[in-house]
Structures are given as C-alpha cells and as structure tokens.
C-alpha cells in the first residue's frame, strides 16, 4: 500500500497523522534521516506537545493534502493522542538479539511491528491504562518508550542525499497487524516490555564486562539483575550496604550502575 492510501485509512479510523518532509541530506545516514523526518505541518518537531490549539482532524486533513501535492513524502504518528505507545528499539539492540526472540515477546499477528531504515524496530501497543506508561523508562542507546513523542512509520519512504550519493530507504511492516487494527493492550504485554528492558540492561552489562552477547552469558547477567531486584525490594536497609554476593558490588555501586543505564527497577 502506498503512503497516501495508508494515511487515508488512518485518517478514516480517527488517527492524528502529520506530514514529514521525506527528503533529507547530511554527511551521514543519521544526519540525513534526522533532516528527512522533520514534520512540516506541526510545530517544534520531536518536542511538539499536542494540545487543543491544533485540532486532530485539521492536521490530518492537511497531511493528506500535502501528500497528494507531493510536498510531503512520509507520515508521522504520535503515541498517546492515538491511544498508542511505541516501543522504539534501536539497532544497538537488534544487532545483538535475533528478531525471532522479540517476536516471542510481541507476536506479529497481534502487535504492530515494523523495521526502520537503520535496522531497528517499532512495536505499537494499545494504551488501555495510561498509568502504565509512566512506569516505563527506556534504556539509552537501546530502547526508547515513545508515548508523548511520535514515530515516522510505514509505508513512508525517505529520499536521502548522503555526501555525494543518493539513496532511498523505507519502513517495512513485519506484522500482519496494521496501526488501525492494534488490539494488543499495554496491560497484557507490560511484562513483555519489562523483559525487553531487562534484556537491554543485560546487554549493557555484558558489554561493560567485556562479555560476548550470546545467550549463555546473557542468562548469567539475567541472574545478576534478578539478584539486584531482590536486594532492592526485599532486603533490610542496613543490609543494602553489604557486598553483593553475586557481583561483588555494594548497593551504592549497583544503583549507580542502573542510573547509568537510565532504568529504574523499583
């Protein structure tokens, strides 16, 4: 399906959709993508806060006009305004973990899943309980939780000029589910999201300790994480300052480590 037809389906389903330029240039893929993903009919880009000053329908209809005229080549879909949360998985994670492992956590016949031009993934879940969103925190360089932000999404194709060469890249839908069909609820898949975040921290710790990111070593790191949790949640406060029997770290060192990975296990 082309981007205009897909956008029409989204608008008919009541989605807020805005237009992105779809053309960008830069010295690297990252720079060119950043330029190409800039919205052109809403202000402030990634920091834009959707409020009553901008009516959903007006923005979405202007997006359709921009696509039809050729001014825009792609679409951006925000999270919470559409009752969605996007799990934005970076290439830094997918390069170490096979996609089939993620599909066991987020089945593509129930969740919307797409591949991004840089090799990451977007996973969309329906937000049935907004309070759960505030209990999730991404892991820097691995996973971002985009509820109040947005993602550029399928079937957008971006035309990039990188240094002196031109390349076209796109978003590829890997699921049988489309955005307007998402029924996988955050409450049902909350544990899957937490497990994904755990896996990210495991990889970070494995890298920090110079371990290869294979499943055997990751299972060892998983036990370390579990030990952290037990100590943080169940141990008497006076015991927290003793040496951790698994890692050799005291609780201050453990907390510092977790803060570096931007995640809170409480």
Residue 222 CA: distances (Å) to CA of 20, 86, 112, 195: 40, 25, 27, 10
Q: Could you read off the pLDDT of 186-211 as tens digits, one per residue?
A: 999 998 898 888 878 777 776 666 65
Give mean pLDDT, residues 219-237: 59
- Pick 28 or 217 by higher pLDDT: 28
- Pick 150 or 235 by higher pLDDT: 150
Residue 11 CA: distances (Å) to CA of 39, 64, 125, 132, 138: 17, 9, 18, 27, 29
pLDDT of residue 222: 58
Q: Could you read off the pLDDT of 161-172 as tens digits, one per residue?
A: 998 889 999 999
Q: Could you read off the pLDDT of 62-84 as tens digits, one per residue?
A: 999 999 999 999 999 999 889 99
Q: Which CATH class is domain 3-189?
A: alpha beta
Would the pLDDT of 7 be above 90?
Answer: yes
Q: Where would I find the H helices in 91-214? A: 91-94, 99-105, 186-208
Would the pLDDT of 218 be above 60?
Answer: no
Block residue for tokens 């990634």: 46
pLDDT of residue 164: 83
pLDDT of residue 52: 46
Whole-angstrom distance, CA of residue 194 vs CA of residue 186? 11
pLDDT of residue 216: 44
What percent of the chain clears pLDDT 70, i.e. is strictly above it? Answer: 71
pLDDT band at 226 (very low <50, low <70, confident <90, very high): low
Whole-angstrom distance, CA of residue 75 vs CA of residue 265? 35
Q: Could you read off the pLDDT of 16-55 as tens digits, one per residue?
A: 999 999 999 998 888 999 899 989 988 754 444 555 445 6
pLDDT of residue 3: 96
Least confident of 127-131, 148-152, 247-251: 247-251
Q: Could you read off the pLDDT of 88-104 as tens digits, one per residue?
A: 998 877 776 767 778 88
């Amino acid at each position: 399906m082309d981007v205009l037809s897909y956008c029409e389906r989204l608008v008919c389903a009541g989605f807020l959709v805005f237009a992105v330029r779809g053309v960008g240039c830069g010295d690297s893929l990252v720079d060119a993508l950043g330029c190409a993903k800039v919205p052109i009919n809403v202000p402030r880009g990634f920091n834009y806060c959707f409020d009553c000053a901008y009516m959903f329908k007006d923005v979405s209809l202007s997006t359709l006009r921009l696509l039809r005229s050729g001014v825009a080549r792609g679409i951006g879909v925000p999270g919470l305004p559409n009752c969605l949360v996007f799990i934005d998985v970076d290439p830094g994670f997918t390069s170490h973990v096979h996609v089939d492992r993620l599909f066991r956590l987020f089945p593509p016949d129930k969740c919307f899943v797409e591949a991004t031009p840089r090799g990451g993934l977007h996973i969309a879940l329906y937000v049935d309980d907004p309070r759960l969103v505030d209990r999730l925190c991404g892991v820097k360089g691995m996973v971002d939780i985009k509820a109040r932000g947005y993602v550029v999404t399928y079937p957008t194709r971006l035309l990039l000029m990188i240094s002196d060469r031109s390349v076209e890249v796109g978003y590829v839908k890997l699921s049988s589910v489309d955005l307007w069909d998402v029924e996988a609820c955050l409450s049902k898949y909350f544990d899957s999201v937490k497990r994904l975040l755990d896996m990210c921290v495991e990889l970070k710790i494995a890298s920090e300790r110079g371990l290869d990111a294979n499943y055997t070593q990751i299972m060892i790191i998983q036990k370390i994480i579990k030990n952290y949790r037990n100590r943080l949640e169940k141990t008497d406060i006076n015991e927290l300052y003793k040496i951790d029997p698994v890692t050799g770290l005291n609780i201050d060192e453990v907390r510092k480590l977790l803060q570096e990975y931007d995640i809170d296990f409480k």
